[in-house]
Copies of this chain bind each other. A is one copy, B any other.
C-alpha cells in the first residue's frame, strides 16, 4: 500500500497540489506546503541549497559546505538535516564523508506551485 500522509516528506506531500493562484488553498493543503517553504526560509539553508545545486557533479561534501560559512559545524549539520527531512536534499554516506545532492524535482514542484499561471 502507499505511504500514509504522515510518512511523506513535505516534498512528496506537495507534488500533487494545484497552484496557489488557481483556487483557494484548504487549511490542510496549506499545512502540507508550509514545511517545504519554511525549509528554504532561512538565509543559511538557501545558500546551502544553492551551493549544493551549483556544485560540480551536482553534489557536495559536508566538509566543503562547512567552510563556506562562519558558523559552527553542528549548526550546518542542523540545517542540512532540515533540508534533507523536507526532501530537498538527498543524503549519501561514502566512507568517512557525507555527500548531499539536490532534489531538482522538489524545487520544480515548489516553483510550479507558486508560479501557477505560467506553469
Binding site for B on A (CB under 8 A): 20-25, 27, 30-31, 33-34, 37-38, 40-44, 46-47, 49-51, 53-54, 68, 102, 104, 107-108, 110-112, 114-118
* Least Cβ–Cβ distance between A70 and chain B, in angstroms: 9
Query: Smallest CB-CB separation from A51: which chain B residue?
Result: B24
Per a CB cutoff under 8 Å, which of B37, B50, B107 touches A40?
B37
* Least Cβ–Cβ distance between A115 and chain B, in angstroms: 3
Q: A20-B50, A41-B34, A47-B24 are in contact. Are A107 and B102 (CB under 8 A)?
A: no
Contacts of A50 in B (CB 8 A): 20-21, 23-25, 30
A–B pairs, 8, beta carbons within 8 Å: A24-B54, A25-B51, A30-B43, A34-B41, A41-B41, A108-B115, A111-B112, A112-B115
* Least Cβ–Cβ distance between A86 and chain B, in angstroms: 12
Complex Cα gap A34–B44 (Å): 10
Known interface pairs A30-B44, A34-B42, A115-B115; 20 further A-B residue pairs with C-beta atoms within 8 A, sorted by A's residue number = A20-B46, A20-B49, A20-B50, A21-B50, A21-B53, A21-B104, A22-B54, A23-B50, A24-B50, A24-B54, A25-B46, A25-B47, A25-B51, A30-B46, A37-B41, A104-B117, A108-B118, A111-B112, A111-B118, A112-B115
